[in-house]
Each structure stands twice: as structure tokens, then as C-alpha cells.
Amino acid sequence: MSGALDAHFEAMLAAAARDAQPMPPLSEVPPEMVRAGYRAQRTGQNALTSPAEVQARDLRVGGAAGPLPARLYAPPDAASRCGGLVYFHGGGFVIGDLDTHDAHCRRLALYSGQRVLAVDYRLAPEHPFPAAHDDALAATRWAFDHAAEIGFDPDRIGVGGDSAGGNLAASVALDLRGDAGRRLRLQLLLYPATWPAEETLSRRERDGPVLSKAAMAFFETALAFAGHPQALRAAPARVADLAGAPPAVIVTAGHDPLEHEGRDYAAQLRAAGVAARHVSYPTLVHDFFIMGDVSPAVIAAARQTGAAIGEALGRTEPAPPR
């Protein structure tokens, strides 16, 4: 159940409402303009709390249709080989990039003590489904195959993402179940979109804050996965058999239309015999992880999430039989 909205986010939303200008529907705005606005907003909400001590370098990784931009983050004093998280940013499959999530990925690396590889997958509507899902899968395979080059221990690799990126991480986790040479140790799903067969109460009754019904409809239309032969890759909650998926940490926010589908997906995984931990932040909103300057609660949540990553990927254990 949702708690009272965090006072800092309440003040942010009130200020935004006061300053709001009439805007056309998202479908009438060029995608690059929507992306630029989101980039300016989110980078401006993360400037003060971005950990400068985390080293970052840009590189290219293998995507489904060619090389993709990516950014590798290493915490201070990282070992030459440590656990690694392949990370996919959120943004409804339409917006978001390496810069919108830069401070967030730096925090995950710092607080986990592991490396993070952020992947800039192809975006809709220019690249509809399954382009992003294919890129996420290809990039994760690339991380396994090039682990030595990027400082990953191939026996301690996980996938993660927020919102649409959480959907991609969940999809990759299922796609790799039968790959004996690439065994994931973690799927980190931050307020993920899982598209259950039936609309959840939180999706039905909540129109925002941050994530509106209109925005969700726009993103779903842009992704264009409905009716596709591979549509289940975009709707992990509709997959009948989730057995064999890697352990999961699923984080939800109380003031978020996606709250219940993240919570329920954790329950589905547990019912299938998968170790799945659900962590709820009842006073927070969708997208909170990339608004670090707004509230101290974001940094606290990032620390807790980083600790969960470190627990899953930071221990050296015997590799499972292959």
C-alpha cells in the first residue's frame, strides 16, 4: 500500500504543476524533441549527487544490427576482474540514453562495488519491437564473450534496468535460460513494465505522478509489440513458465502506475521456484532513481539497491556445471 508521498517529491511536483505550459500530445511532438526535454530534465535532477569518484569510459558493444554505444563504470579501487551488471535505461523504449542515467549508474557501481555496463539500445518508434529486445540480448551475450576486456568475472554477471529497461532485463533473463555458457546471477528490475495479461489496479487507477496514462499509451503504441509473433518477449508476466530464471531483485514505488505489476511479477517468479526479492518504497514515484537531487530518499534507496547487487554479484563462488 502506498504511503504518504515523499515531501521532497511533493514539492517538486507542485512546482512543476505551477510552471506547467500547455503541451501537445506526445504523438504530435518529434521524438528527438521529447528525448531532448527528458534529457535536460533528468540530467538537471542528478547533477549534485553524481559520484565523481566512479570512473567511466565510453565504448561500443555488439548489438543485434551493429555496434551500440555503451558506458562502462568502475567503482574506486575495483579489482581487475569483478562482478558486472549489464544495465538498460528506462524511458518507455522511446526516450532516455546514457546521459539521463549516468549518475544513477555511477551510484549503482559505487554502492555495489561492481562494474556496470550501460547499453544505449535502439529506440522506438524509429526502431519498433523487437529491436530493443534484440539489442539487449545481443549486448548481454557480448558482455559474457568479452568479459576479460571489460573487467567482468563471467561467472558473476547480472542484468538490470529501470521501467522499460527493467522489461528488457526481464526479457534477457528469460531468453538466456537455456544458454549454459552464459548463466546470469541476477536480474535487477527497477519499477519494471511487465505487461500482465490483466491490467493491474495500480495501472488502472493511477494517472501519474510522473508516469501518466497518456504517456504509457504513447510508449506502447511506439513500441508496437502487440500482435507480433514474439510479443511475449515484451510481456514477461504473460509467460506461462518462468522456471529457471535467475534470482531477481524487484523494486517498486508506491506512487507509480507500475507498482503492482512489479510486485506481482516477483510473486510469479517465486511461484515458479525462482528466488525473487521484492523491495517497496511506498513514498516514492516512478523514475525516482534518476532524480537523485530531489530527495535524500533516492540516495538511500540507491545504497540499498547497490548492496543487493553486491550481495548477488560480489561473492566469488564455484561456477555452476556447464
Inside any domain, residue 108: yes
Is residue 51 in some structural domain? no
In a domain? residue 171: yes
CA contacts within 13 A on the Cβ side of 172: 38
- Is 256 tagged catalytic? yes
- In contact, 75 and 146? CB cutoff 8 Å: no
**Among the options 153, 286, 287, 295, which is catalytic?**
286
Q: Which of 112, 163, 202, 295 is catalytic?
A: 163
Q: Is residue 101 part of a domain?
A: yes
Task: List the domain range (segments joined by +) for residue 241.
Answer: 7-19+64-313
CATH of the domain at 170: 3.40.50.1820
Does residue 286 carry a catalytic annotation? yes
* Residue 151: alpha-carbon gap to chain centroid: 22
- 308 contact partners, CB below 8 Å, separation of at least 6: 188, 249, 277, 279
pLDDT tens figures, 258-309: 999 999 999 999 999 999 999 999 999 999 999 999 999 999 999 999 999 9
Q: Is 80 a catalytic residue?
A: no
Confidence of residue 322 (pLDDT cuts 50, 70, 90): very low
- Is 163 a member of any domain? yes
Helix (H) or strand (E) holding 249: strand 248-255
Domain assignment present for residue 149? The answer is yes
Q: What digits encode the pLDDT tens for the residues 32-85? A: 999 999 999 999 999 999 999 999 999 999 999 999 999 999 999 999 999 999
The H or E element spanning position 164 is helix 164-175
CA 117, distance to chain mean position in Å, is 12
Average pLDDT value over all residues in the chain: 95
Which of 97, 120, 162, 256 is the catalytic position? 256
The answer as to whether 116 is a domain residue is yes
Q: How many domains does the chain fold into? A: 1
Q: Give residue 59's pLDDT.
A: 98
Give residue 191's pLDDT: 98
- pLDDT category at 318 given cuts 50, 70, 90 is very low
In a domain, 59, yes or no: no
